[in-house]
Amino acid sequence: MKAMILAAGFGERLRPLTETTPKPLLDVGGKPMIQYHVERLAAAGIREIVINTSWLGEKIECFLGDGSRFGVRIVWSRESEPLETGGGIRRTLPLLGPAPFLVVNGDVWTDYPFASLVERDWSEDIDAHLVLVPNPPFKVVGDFVVGDDGRVGYPEPDKKTYTFSGISVMRPEIFALYPAASECFPLRDVLAGSIRAASVSGEVFDGQWWDVGTVERLNLLNGRLAGKVLDASQKPRMRAQIA
């Protein structure tokens, strides 16, 4: 299985830090945030990674290079202007190939076991698989529900909802409605038809997961990593937008 790391965002909510440092290179626990993804994907057995970049992307590319020092091969997709999550993935389909591929947002920090996705046999009736997390205390309604059959649906009254973690597996065929590689569109538009057709599966992950989307969240995570073990009572649930 190949993987893609989404790393083309501006990181506007992390200013002034991101005025000179791209979001994926911000320090988390003593090393750039994106390095955790590369190392954990490699540990899961993935050897080919596609990374899209835009704002200050040359700095990310300079740091990671071709990926050889991490035991992987990295291919770069450079966007002059961000194509959003859906458009960014669509542009890289020729690099990702015909098989299901793993996608992870570059601005989350997690100990999710990627090997569980790499080693799984994916049924052909599944267009995509979403990793969800419990909603943060301040979020009343999450992004999705998960049925007894493991299929993902949109929120309904009296059903427990969950938040998208930014981790997923997708089949390239679901992008068929977007033939132009330069088109800009969100991932939620790509998934909508498959969700309505009950062709998207999901799981709920209850491990360590942070959306490092603001300076406050970044500082909080670094504070915890500096001297404390994250446990269930310490870790907040931060939201990753399915945009």
> Has residue 51 been placed in a domain?
yes
User: For position 11, what pLDDT does the model report?
Assistant: 65
User: For position 139, what pLDDT does the model report?
Assistant: 66
Q: Name the pLDDT band for 174 (thresholds 50, 70, 90).
A: very high
Q: Name the pLDDT band for 188 (thresholds 50, 70, 90).
A: very high
- pLDDT greater than 90 at residue 115: yes
CA distance 24 to 7: 6
> Has residue 238 been placed in a domain?
no
> Has residue 129 been placed in a domain?
yes
Q: Name the pLDDT band for 228 (thresholds 50, 70, 90).
A: low
User: For position 212, what pLDDT does the model report?
Assistant: 83
- pLDDT greater than 80 at residue 62: yes
Q: Which amino acid is at 89?
A: I
CA distance 38 to 70: 7
Q: 92 to each of 46, 61, 147, 153, 160, how far by Cα in Å?
A: 17, 16, 31, 27, 34
User: For position 237, what pLDDT does the model report?
Assistant: 43
User: For position 158, what pLDDT does the model report?
Assistant: 86
CATH for 36 = 3.90.550.10
> Has residue 233 been placed in a domain?
no
Note the pTM of the prediction, 2 decimals. 0.88
User: For position 137, what pLDDT does the model report?
Assistant: 58
- pLDDT greater than 50 at residue 231: no
pLDDT in tens, 132-157: 999 865 567 889 999 999 999 999 88
Mean pLDDT, residues 14-35: 85
With 0-12 / 13-18 / 19 or more C-beta atoms within 10 angstroms meaning exposed / middle / buried, residue 148 is: exposed
Output the average pLDDT for the chain: 88
> Has residue 242 been placed in a domain?
no
- pLDDT greater than 80 at residue 229: no
Domain that holds residue 97: 3-227
CA 138 to chain centre: 22
- pLDDT greater than 60 at residue 240: no
> Has residue 234 been placed in a domain?
no
- pLDDT greater than 80 at residue 122: yes
> Has residue 236 been placed in a domain?
no
> Has residue 173 been placed in a domain?
yes
Mean pLDDT, residues 54-63: 90
| Count: domains in the chain | 1
